[in-house]
Amino acid sequence: MMTMQAPDKPARRAGRPRSKQAERAIIDAALEEFAETGPQGLCIERVAAKAGVGKATIYRRWPGKEDLLLDAIAAMRTPLPEPKGESVREDLVTLLEALGRESVDPRRARQYALLLGEGAAYPRLLERYLETVVEPRRDVVRAVLRRGVATGELREGTNVEAAVDMLTGAVLARPRVGKDRPDRGYARRVVDELLTGLASR
């Protein structure tokens, strides 16, 4: 006599599906901790407590704090305003004003510290920051400057890389030298001073 076999049940995946809400809470908590302590002082226990999850939830997704910070920094990549393409001067002012607003965010201020020495101990972290945050922003400024050279708004032979350094550095360094926030009109003054030297003769 043949016996009927019960149909195979689909295999269940081990564990619960990862909650996007929990992952977002962990990323936010990691960025908050990073802003307060830097990479050296970041503690998974405190991140877990702030995010309202267990340490095991974090370790299932990230093997260590540096891996967590790699994703946390990547999550902060936000695009700069799209240049309108009508005036190099106005596009540069708009970009620098956006950078100035970001520069006083404690989480971003701590990221800048990676460039000033902290990143030497965390080369993977520094590389991710440069790749996902720094270079995409510099690319936007480069494109505006190169367009200015092509249209004749800027002189031929302009050193684009040096100009990018001067423009972004003037804004990002300001909070580090005793100025909490670039005052209204600061970005415009920086652009005007630089363009005086780069203007087409």
- Tokens matching residue 48: 């877990």
pLDDT tens figures, 36-76: 888 888 899 999 999 999 999 999 999 989 899 989 888 87
Same structural domain, 156 and 180: yes
Quick check: 29 pLDDT over 70? yes
Closest C-alpha among 174, 47, 178, 32 to residue 106: 32
- Say how far apart CA 79 and CA 31 lie, in whole Å: 18
pTM, 2 dp: 0.75
- Answer yes or no: are the C-beta atoms of 96 and 167 closer than 8 Å: yes
- The upper half-sphere exposure of residue 44, i.e. CA atoms within 13 Å in the direction of its Cβ, equals 15
Q: Provide the residue range defining the domain that includes 32.
A: 20-75
In a domain? residue 12? no
Total domain count, the chain:
2
Same structural domain, 144 and 186: yes
State the average pLDDT for the chain: 82
For every residue of 33-89, DSSP letters joined together read HHHHHHHHH--HHHHHHHHTS-HHHHHHH-SSHHHHHHHHHHHT--PPPPP-SS-HH
Same structural domain, 63 and 101: no
Same structural domain, 30 and 115: no
- Answer yes or no: are the C-beta atoms of 168 and 141 closer than 8 Å: yes
